[in-house]
Amino acid sequence: MITIDYQSKLPLYEQIMRRFQMLILRGVLRPGTQMPSVRTLAVELSINPNTIQKAYSLLEQQGYIYPVKGKGNFVSDSSKLVQQKKDSLLEEIKRLAVSGKELGIGREEYIQVIDCIYKKEGPHDRAE
């Protein structure tokens, strides 16, 4: 279900948390879906169960999952989370666009960057 990069500088719990966030926000994990147990996922990934528990605790704090006593953790209805995240990102984009405009970054440069992102090619990934 998820993979982790042992070479990454990002802590394992954060990699796990981010991967589950993405799966939930994209609708791969639907509301009400039971999450893998801490023990099962720890064995599957060959890591300490406390690492999984930390990721799950953060996911719960952020509203992505909820615990059911004696049953495990389940995916929350993420529709509000998705909308809040979109609104937050749009506000951040507006703020960055204003700052960029003040520095002389033109509309076409923004469009070029966005096109690269949607083509899965970062501006620094292109051969020069």
Q: Along the chain (128 residues), what's the average pLDDT of each consecutive run of 10 residues?
A: 91 97 92 96 97 98 95 90 87 93 92 86 44
pLDDT of residue 44: 96
Longest CA–CA span in the chain (Å) reads 58
pLDDT of residue 121: 53
pLDDT of residue 126: 40
| pTM as predicted | 0.69
Q: Where are the alpha helices (DSSP H) in the chain?
A: 12-25, 38-45, 49-61, 79-102, 107-118
Task: Give the C-alpha separation, 18 to 65, whole Å.
Answer: 13
Task: Give the C-alpha separation, 53 to 42, whole Å.
Answer: 9
